[in-house]
Structure 1
Amino acid sequence: MLKLLYSSIIFSILNSRSSSYSVSLINNIELLRRKILEESYELISESLGPCLDKGRLIEESCDLIYHVAVYLISFGISYCSLIRELSRRFGSKSKAVILSNKSRPD
């Protein structure tokens, strides 16, 4: 999914659709930085309320991931670079954890 998100953002930028939200963020890095801070705050705030709403946590997480992806793309950081770093950090250990958690419900 992250690859699809990255591809979608890059497609939008390369096609220079000026009405694209991604393009407007790339063209205003300060706005993009504020959006990342805002989405981070909203994600944390959702987890502090008296009634935890997992749906809202997922929504805010997706918002944050999107804005971080746009930010990284704005600096020319590729999807492959992220995957390489994640592999370096977690490598085969993560594969064992993922396989052992496949039967666990969300």
Structure 2
Amino acid sequence: MIETLYTELLARKQNPKEGSYTNYLFDQGLDKILKKVGEEATEVIIAAKNDQTELISETSDLIYHMLVLLVEKGVSLEAIKNELKKREGKLSEAKERKQIDDL
């Protein structure tokens, strides 16, 4: 499903469709896309405190906008998969991570 959506977004960027929300985002550029990613990420956090239906909806919105961002920046899903494969099976200790207060 994610691969299909990514492919559709890539096609939409290459072949714009008038009136499309996706093309609106591409036309507005990186700053607008980043604003939407941030907005959706915040909404996921709030939804997680509320109910599962809202969490599913907001997570779907975030994934969509993240994929728009990847297309905009020319990052392939293959690049993301390769990065995740590099991390697979690696054990990470909490002490190796930045503390939330340090971010």
* Mapping of residues 83-98 of structure 1, within 5 Å: 83-90=81-88, 93=89
Pairing partner for 2:68 from 64, 70, 83: 70
The Cα offsets for residues 61-88 of structure 1, whole Å up to 9 and x where unpaired, read as 1100110111111111011111111112
Map of 1:42 onto structure 2? 43
SS in 2 for 1:27: helix
Q: Number of matched residues?
A: 89
Structure 2: where are the runs of 5+ without partners?
90-103
Map of 1:24 onto structure 2? 24
Q: TM-score w.r.t. structure 2 length?
A: 0.77
Range with greater deviation from structure 2 (24-33 or 57-66): 24-33
Q: Give RMSD over aligned pairs.
A: 1.7
Amino acid at match of 2:44: L
Whole-Å separation in 1 of the counterparts to 2:12 and 2:37: 19
Pairing partner for 1:57 from 55, 58, 70: 55
Superposed displacement of residue 48, structure 1: 2.1
Map of 1:12 onto structure 2? 12
Amino acid at match of 1:83: K
Structure 1: where are the runs of 5+ without partners?
94-106
Q: Percent identity?
A: 32
Superposed displacement of residue 46, structure 1: 1.1
The 4+ residue runs of structure 1 with deviation greater than 3 A are: none
Whole-Å separation in 2 of the counterparts to 1:27 and 1:89: 34
Whole-Å separation in 2 of the counterparts to 1:84 and 1:14: 25
